[in-house]
Structure 1
Amino acid sequence: MTTHPVDEKLPVLKLATSGLQHVAAMYAGVVAPPLIVGAAIGLTGTELTFLTGACLFTAGLATFLQTLGIWKIGARLPFVNGVTFAGVAPMTAIVAATDDPSDALPVIFGAVIVAGLLGFLAAPVFCKAVRFFPPVVTGTVITLIGVSLLPVAFGWAQGPDPAAHDYGSATNLGLAGATLLIVLLLRRFTRGFVKQIAVLLGLVAGTVLAIPFGGVDFGPVAAADVVGFPAPFHFGAPRFQLAAILSMCVVMVVSMTESTADMLALGEIVERPADERTIAAGLRADTLGSALSPLFNGFMCSAFAQNIGLVAMTRIRSRYVVAAGGGFLVLMGLCPVAASLIAVVPRPVLGGAGVVLFGSVAASGIQTLVGAALEKGDNVLIVAVSLAVGIVPITAPEFYHAFPETARIVLDSGISTGCLAAVLLNLVFNHPGKEPARLPGPADAVPLAPQSIV
């Protein structure tokens, strides 16, 4: 029996370099939430480094759960898990509402544990929403994922600090453009393995180019410890407060919605469509990873959409590659000096590579829409309105400023609002439970081997 590319085990060198490429693509997204929350609490530099390492460590464990899986846990797809940015706003709100900032992390950890366990129990029910995701909906959502991520790349391209004097400078934008050009040239004029790791090589080349301009800071490498372990409950035993739990449960619903959309997108790209069983297993991995994360001082975990773009561009579909990336994340959590090596990559360089990665996700969504029979019925209307709703938080970030903070957790996520709009409009304009007419597309591909979820 022919092995499906998702289950293919690659040579060690290719496995390692491709896995490292995934880590480079998502590193900034993992470390940003602990840095923001830690700064709001007022953690010292040493404590902030510890919290960041803990989040890298738990992201690696959650990625193992998702890619390798145990029992009915894990989608067994090339799916990276990490700290969800959707939780930043409610976590900082918890910090602000806590009388003693030193108590904030135990309260956050307690809320994440409860939300994760409730999400785990809800996964078998939540996964049934897959029947509400025909190609006209999935194509719209995949496109929105890419479009929503592009502003992140543009922000990186300008620099790490909006308050800095060189933010958006010609030097920063030039480094981003040079990195983008290098990736494009490697993709155009190389073949085989070199072509597949073009993003990683582009990041290395962009970093080297940034050295003469003073854009690379090797200080974190010199200051980092060689060995470190995120000791359980380092910041104190979890505390359970109802208001904090409710806010994190809302984040969990948003996270599960986005993870469902991400799994559908990835299933299309790797030609192993995600069915209810796959989505349920993937959601169990997300939620269990979140529930276990606070044990090692980490935050809520969710799928990282930016890595879907890397899979789409490189066409390396092996889940073991992403598992190798999870191994690097665990290593970084245990070896701070290793984490600091990725941290030296300048933000503008990441921005240049991000344009390719995130744009690839949007292009995959457009490809899915091509096969969604937009000329039939009101499918064009569904796509048009859903995209417009999903783009609102991107083009007008303060559009929902008058709404309650709890509602804004959902409304400020273009992926969530666009996804909900597409699902509801599809139900209104197409018969409930009946998939609208469509043209043959990637989802029609028959998996070469059965999925290993039982």
Structure 2
Amino acid sequence: MTVLATEMPLTVSGMTPEQARDPNYFPGLATAIPLGIQHVLAMFVSNMTPAIIVAGAAGFGYGSGDTSEMIYMIQMAMLFAGIATLLQTIGFGPVGARLPLVQGTSFAFIPIMIPIVAGKGVEAMAALTTAALFGGLLHAGLSFFVGKIRFALPPMITGLVVLMIGLSLMRIGVQYAAGGVPAVGTPAFGAWQSWLLAGVVVVTTLALNFFGRGIWSTAAVLLGLIAGYLAALAMGRVDFAPVASAGLVMLPMPFHFGFALSASAILGFCLTGFVSSIESIGDVDAICEGNAGRPATDHELQGAVCADGVGTALAAVFGAMPNTTFSQNVGLIAITGVMSRHVVTLGALFLIACGLLPKVGAVITTIPIEVLGGGVIVMFGMVASAATSMLAGVQWTQRNMLIFGVSLSLALGLQLEPEALQHLPETLRILLGSGVLPAAVTAVALNLLVPGRTDVRPAAAMAA
């Protein structure tokens, strides 16, 4: 999951090039601890945001009067991001790439999850987490065949899917920045105070990313949220009641939301998991070729995708959201030059510790929704920007432009006008209205059926 590019983070001296490229090398605690915390800072906001969005859509969040379920979901997002990261770095049998891959809650599933839970509470969350369990198991099973299906998902299609994820979520960012969904239709929605708080976050994030160095740039989104939070505090917009009432330790509860079967939810998670597996392959390729100077092995690719699936299934059992590899942390490794998986392991342990302390989640729930909206606007915008980077290498022939254009037009149109699907069964309405799935399915089908190929530009053409 790509969120924000960074410049000049903490770098390391005293290591030979061979040691820096070796995933099994341990640089010592004095070096590994700050690098591990830097990894956590780079992904922290992106990891908790999907849980907050889904909790709010289900009716557990802002304006509900009871944030206990949101706190639980935030805690589980941190806990199982840490556990899933350990599956990647340490491994367990066929599970895990044994590479410095950071796992976190996936944005890719949000367009599927929101229609499932919208205003439906615990019962819908039971269907969602059950579907995530089945989807995760299928995702893990796909790992043994992933090399054989890569041909069906060239950069044009994966780029289109990532673009649709960003476009599908942008409305949420604006809604949050203007005051949140409960305020829609009221005089408070879109008030200048709301936009001021969101603006503080956006401006601070951009300033730190463009002009900051080291940790100031790496954690730009997190620091932007802190600036917005301080502004909200000065305006009297922060309520610390959830922190006072939160316990000292929170343990995960199996099937916290229950168990419920939903055909549309299961199908949606299975299809989206297929697309998510390709994103993981891209991250493994990038980390091996860009940092180790070699191609990824089949064992590493299979292990990474398998850990994605197992991590998602395990998280779902305890009421958490699906997991995936985080691309921004892959980029962080490229800049620091340290590929040690043990560094990321220490970061994972820090995440697990945070996930067991509900005071952490309670503090996060005190962030005003407008402040979160400012961060979300930046993150979702960068998701769409990352898609344009993926699409830059596509040879834009008339064939490819038609496939891309038709798929984008159909998917975005159905999402913007869901009433066009009112005569279809509920399962199809949810799937076709998600934006992401119709884009992926249409593009894959057309790419396989229409004569010709989706080529990547040769190096000479890209340099022209």
- Same fold, judged at TM 0.5 (above): yes
Q: 1:233 to 1:136 in 2, by over 3 A?
A: closer
CA distance in 2, matches of 1:368, 1:114: 29
- The aligned amino acid for 1:30 is A
For 2:125 and 2:178, the matched residues in 1 are separated by 31
1:273-312 matches, cutoff 5 A: 280-295=302-317, 297-299=318-320, 301-303=322-324, 308=327
Q: What CA distance in whole angstroms lies between the structure 2 residues aligned with 1:269 and 1:155?
A: 35
**Gap change, CA 1:48 and 1:181, over 3 Å in 2:** closer
- Whether the 8 Å CA contact 2:195–2:370 is kept in 1: the answer is yes
Match in the other structure for 2:277: 260
- On the 8 A contact 2:177/2:369 being kept in 1, the answer is yes
Displacement after TM superposition at 1:19 (Å): 0.8
Q: Over residues 196-220 of structure 1, what are the superposed CA-to-partner deviations in whole Å (9 max), with x where a residue is unaligned? A: 2222221111111121223322222
What is the one-letter code of the residue matched to 2:221? Answer: V
1:71 aligns to 2:88 (yes or no): no
Local SS of the residue matching 1:391: helix
- The counterpart of 2:455, out of the listed 436, 441, 446, is 436
Partner residue of 1:335?
357
**Per-residue CA shift, 1:17-56, capped at 9, x if unaligned?**
441341222313124435655759x998656655654454
* Residue 134 in structure 1 maps to residue 157 in structure 2: no
1:199 to 1:335, Cα distance in 2 relative to 1, 3 A: same
Deviates more, 1:380-389 or 1:48-57: 48-57
- Quote the Cα distance in structure 2 between the aligned partners of 1:268 and 1:154: 34
In structure 2, C-alpha distance between the alignment counterparts of 1:63 and 1:348, rounded to whole Å:
30
Give yes or no for the alignment of 1:348 onto 2:365.
no
Work out whether 1:178 is the aligned partner of 2:197. no
Query: Could you tell which deviates more after superposition, 198-207 or 414-423?
Result: 414-423
Alpha-carbon distance in 2 for matches of 1:51, 1:367: 32
Q: Which amino acid aligns with 2:434?
A: S
Residue 163 of structure 2 is aligned to residue 163 of structure 1: no
Structure 2 counterparts to residues 21-420 of structure 1, below 5 A: 21-34=42-55, 37=58, 49-50=71-72, 53-54=75-76, 56-66=78-88, 68-74=90-96, 76=99, 78-82=101-105, 84-85=109-110, 86-87=112-113, 89-90=115-116, 113-125=133-145, 128-163=148-183, 165=186, 166-232=188-254, 244=261, 246-263=263-280, 266=283, 280-295=302-317, 297-299=318-320, 301-303=322-324, 308=327, 326-374=348-396, 376-420=397-441
Please say if residues 102 and 329 of structure 2, whose CA atoms lie closer than 8 Å, have aligned partners that are also in contact: no
Tell me the amino acid that sits aligned with residue 375 of structure 2: A
| Inter-partner Cα distance in structure 1 for 2:151 and 2:299 | 12
Question: How many angstroms apart in 2 are the aligned matches of 1:108 and 1:143?
Answer: 24
One-letter identity of the residue aligned with 1:346: P
Structure 1 contact 286–303 (Cα < 8 Å) conserved: yes
1:63/1:82 contact within 8 Å kept: no
Partner secondary structure for residue 372 of structure 2: helix
Alpha-carbon shift at residue 316 of structure 1 (Å) = 5.6
> Take 1:135 and 1:112, find their aligned partners in 2: how far apart are those partners?
26
SS at match of 1:303: strand
Question: How many angstroms apart in 1 are the aligned matches of 2:386 and 2:36?
Answer: 24
Which of 10-19 and 42-51 deviates more?
A: 42-51
Distance 2:35 2:102 in 1: 18
Aligned partner of 1:447 in structure 2 is: none
1:439 alignment partner AA: P
C-alpha separation in 1, matches of 2:300 and 2:423: 38
Counterparts of 1:255 and 1:190, CA distance in 2:
36
Note the C-alpha offset of 1:151: 2.5
- Tell me what 2:4 maps to: none
Match of 1:449 in 2: none
The sequence identity of aligned pairs, in percent, is 29
The one-letter code of the counterpart of 1:133 is L
Give the aligned partner of residue 450 of structure 1.
none
Residues of 2 paired with 1:177 and 1:225: CA distance?
Answer: 33
Q: What residue is the counterpart of 2:41 in the other structure?
A: 20
Measured in 2, the distance between the counterparts of 1:342 and 1:322 equals 23
* Residues in 1 aligned to 2:379 and 2:22: alpha-carbon distance in whole angstroms: 20
436 and 28 in structure 1: CA distance in 2 versus 1, 3 angstrom threshold? closer
Number of equivalent positions: 425
Mapped partners of 1:309, 1:152: distance in 2: 22
Alpha-carbon shift at residue 119 of structure 1 (Å): 4.3
Tell me which amino acid in the other structure corresponds to 1:29: P
Q: Retained in 1: the 8 A contact 2:51–2:73?
A: no
Q: Which runs of 5+ in 2 are unaligned?
A: 1-17
Give distance in 2, aligned partners of 1:14 and 1:331. Answer: 17
Q: Which runs of 5+ in 1 are unaligned?
A: 445-454
For the 8 Å contact 1:57–1:334, the answer to whether it is kept is: yes
Give 1:16 shift. 1.3
Per-residue CA deviation, residues 383-406 of structure 1 (Å, 9 max, x unaligned), is 222322332355334443332222
Return the TM-score normalized by structure 2: 0.75
Distance in 1, matches of 2:381 and 2:125, equals: 36
Give the Cα separation in 1 of the matches to 2:431 and 2:299.
26
Contact 1:23 1:325 in 2 (8 A): no
**1:35–1:57 CA distance, 2 compared to 1 (3 A):** farther
Distance 2:275 2:222 in 1: 26
Secondary structure of the residue aligned to 1:225 is coil
Q: 1-side partners of 2:415 and 2:24: how far apart? A: 36
For residue 20 of structure 1, what is the amino acid of its counterpart? L
Spell out, residue by residue over 1:251-281, the C-alpha distance to the aligned partner (whole angstroms, 9 max, x if none).
Answer: 3313313313433564687666888765543
Amino acid across the alignment from 1:150? M
Q: Give the aligned residue type for 1:141.
A: V
TM-score, with length taken from structure 1: 0.76
